[in-house]
């Protein structure tokens, strides 16, 4: 009489055990999915920071092929193409990103940045115009300043550069750009001041050092500024100063500076030597 009851209990136990196994398998699968997401996130961070930019492009293209709708992977591909200096390829990628339902204003700024790098300034200007004025970031105003510069809208450029400078803790790069803007306008004293400000923020920027020498040379000030520099940098800056002097019509001063550059450089300085030979020939 107890056999039917025993069979029923066994069946109930089996059903319970099966449900437990199914639940356990489900939890394991979910755990693996979570681990994969974490690993993929870490891999994306690595690819966007320390990995070779072209390897990062390959990674994001491959991963995006399996997940074509994921905006984070689209962004990763766009950023990697920019890092790899492949702006023309980055433009259509960022164009797709800004059409995504989860696109943000920062995505539009990145799109404008890619367009500027690809030389499409007018398109970049139109993209920035779609961003509300309440969205105020360093990158947005840095690009606005560059576009105003390209349009020779100097007052707007100065305003945007000033705003951008106040929106970052590392303004060296934008100060250098602002100084170069002043240099192209012929405001050499203003340019010199801004290059000096840039170097006080980041004393390692050789571009700002070279620009500072250009600004001083344009004012016929042919002495090197008192800034940190290596022996090779000193030679290169003397060459820049010498060529600037020649351009100003001060040829003998230029020759003397080029000789100083050749003597200062720890190795053979072919560029300065060639320039000096051309002047003396």
CB distance 235 to 211 below 8 Å = no
For residue 262, what are the contacts with CB-CB under 8 A and spacing of at least 6?
235, 269, 272, 273, 276
The Cα 194–Cα 192 span in angstroms is 6
SS3 of residue 214 by DSSP: helix
Helices and strands in the chain: count of H runs, count of E runs? 14, 0
Q: Is residue 261, in this structure, part of any structural domain at all?
A: yes
Which of 104, 56, 50 is closest to 77 using CA atoms?
A: 56
Q: Domain range holding 68?
A: 42-120
| Domain final position from 100, 120, 140 | 120
pLDDT of residue 24: 56
Q: Is residue 60, in this structure, part of any structural domain at all?
A: yes
> Phi/psi of residue 269, each to 5°?
-105, 90
How many domains does the chain contain in total?
2
The Cα 211–Cα 16 span in angstroms is 78
pLDDT of residue 261: 97
Q: What is the DSSP letter of 201?
A: H
Q: Is 220 left (phi over 0), alpha (psi -120 to 50) or beta?
A: left
pTM of the complete model = 0.80
| Continuous segment of H or E residues that includes residue 261 | helix 251-264
| Domain of residue 110, CATH code | 1.25.40.10
Q: Is residue 181, in this structure, part of any structural domain at all?
A: no
| Domain final position from 66, 95, 120 | 120
| Domain final position from 120, 142, 162 | 120
Residue-level pLDDT, tens digit, the chain, 281 residues:
445 544 443 444 444 444 444 445 555 445 444 445 446 668 888 888 888 999 999 999 999 999 999 999 999 999 999 999 999 999 999 999 999 999 999 999 999 999 999 999 999 999 999 999 999 999 999 999 999 999 999 999 999 999 999 999 999 999 999 999 999 999 999 999 999 999 999 999 999 999 999 999 999 999 999 999 999 999 999 999 999 999 999 999 999 999 999 999 999 999 999 999 999 98
């Amino acid at each position: 009489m107890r056999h039917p009851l025993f069979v029923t209990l066994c069946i109930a136990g089996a059903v319970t055990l099966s449900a437990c196994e199914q639940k356990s398998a489900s939890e394991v699968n979910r755990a693996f999915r979570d681990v994969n997401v974490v690993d993929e996130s870490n891999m994306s961070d690595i690819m966007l920071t320390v990995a070779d930019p072209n390897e990062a492009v390959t990674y994001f293209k491959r991963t995006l092929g399996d997940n074509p709708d994921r905006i984070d992977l689209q962004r990763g591909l766009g950023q990697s193409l920019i890092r790899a200096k492949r702006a023309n390829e980055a433009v259509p990628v960022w164009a797709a990103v800004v059409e995504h339902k989860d696109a943000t204003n920062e995505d539009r700024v990145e799109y404008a940045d890619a367009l500027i790098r690809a030389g499409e300034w007018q398109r970049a200007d139109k993209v920035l115009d779609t961003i509300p004025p309440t969205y105020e970031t360093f990158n947005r105003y840095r690009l606005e300043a560059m576009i105003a510069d390209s349009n020779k809208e100097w007052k707007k450029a100065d305003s945007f550069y000033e705003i951008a400078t106040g929106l970052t803790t590392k303004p060296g790069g934008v100060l250098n750009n602002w100084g170069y803007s002043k240099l192209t306008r012929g405001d050499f004293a203003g340019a010199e001041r801004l290059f000096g400000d840039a170097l006080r923020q980041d004393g390692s920027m050789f571009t700002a050092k070279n620009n500072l020498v250009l600004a001083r040379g344009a004012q016929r000030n042919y002495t090197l500024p008192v800034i940190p520099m290596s022996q090779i940098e000193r030679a290169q800056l003397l060459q820049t100063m010498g060529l600037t002097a020649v351009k100003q019509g001060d040829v003998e001063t230029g020759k003397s500076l080029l000789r100083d550059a050749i003597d200062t450089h720890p190795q053979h300085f072919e560029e300065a030597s060639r320039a000096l030979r051309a002047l003396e020939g």
